Structure 1
Amino acid sequence: MSKKKLTYQSAYDELQTICEQLESEEVDVDQITDLVKRANELVKYCQDRLRGIEKDLNQSTDV
């Protein structure tokens, strides 16, 4: 099984899908915890990427 490298866009898209699933109220109760855990991982990944980009931009403007 090959795993795709996570990108900001793929993480964002997956978050959108998770939100749609949760809002549809058709998600099995047993899946909710797993979906929320995955969403938390994706949010952390996106936040870290944005902070990294912000840091890079700030360093490049300090030159």
Structure 2
Amino acid sequence: MKEQYTYTDAFEELQSIVAEIEQGAISVDELAEKVKRASQLIQVCKVKLNATEEEVNQVLAGLTATETAEPDSEAEEEA
């Protein structure tokens, strides 16, 4: 397995495997290996999604903190 996958790369390969399975294009001999690979790709996608979610939450928290701090500083200037 490639060490560094983008989410898109992993998801596209996963879609390809699913399509092959759905179409019956995979022999019984290959099935276990394809399912194992799909499992690895799902894990890559989950890790990337979780990391992205954490990053977005941090950005949003920073925005919320900035918005909360601004009205206070405006109130102090008016006083």
2:9 and 2:27 map into 1 onto residues whose CA distance is 24
Superposed CA RMSD: 1.4
Give the TM-score normalised by structure 1: 0.86
Kindly name which structure, 1 or 2, has the bigger radius of gyration based on alpha carbons. 2
| RCO comparison, higher one (Cα < 8 Å, 6+) | 1
Give the TM-score normalised by structure 2: 0.70
Q: Quick one: percent identity of the two aligned structures?
A: 34
Query: Could you list the runs of 4 or more consecutive aligned residues of structure 1 that deviate by over 6 angstroms after TM superposition?
Result: none
Count of residues in correspondence between the two structures: 61
Question: More helix per residue: 1 or 2?
Answer: 2
Unaligned runs of 5+ in 1: none
Unaligned runs of 5+ in 2: 63-79
